[in-house]
Amino acid sequence: MEGLKNSNILDNYLFKALDIEDHMSSAVYGVYLLQSTWPANLQPEIFKKIVGLVEYLIQDTEKHKVLIKKLITKLHDQQHPQN
């Protein structure tokens, strides 16, 4: 029973981490992709560089989500092994 309790705690932690990664992609980084977030006099080439950096962060966050999903799958496979 203790092992199941620990697995549930880890499972909840991983799902929370997945929620955080989703929030990072859209709510945190996404706002920086909007021209209106930046000063009106920001040079277009500077904005383009900023967008490139932010897109890199978003891609990295997407990689984190893939890893977390793999951990969730692995945890569930360990909890319910196939015969």
pLDDT per position as a tens digit, 28-62: 888 899 999 999 999 999 999 999 999 998 888 88
Q: Which of 3, 55, 50, 67 is nearest to 30 (CA)?
A: 55
For residue 30, the model assigns a pLDDT of: 86
Q: Which of 65, 57, 62 is nearest to 31 (CA)?
A: 57
Q: What is the pTM of this model?
A: 0.68
- b vs e for 32-47, b when ≥16 Cβ sit within 10 Å of the residue's Cβ? beeeeeeeeeeeeeeb
Which residue has tokens 């029973």? 1
For residue 51, the model assigns a pLDDT of: 94
Q: Which of 56, 49, 67, 50 is nearest to 25 (CA)?
A: 56
Q: What are the pLDDT digits (tens) for 68-79?
A: 899 888 888 877
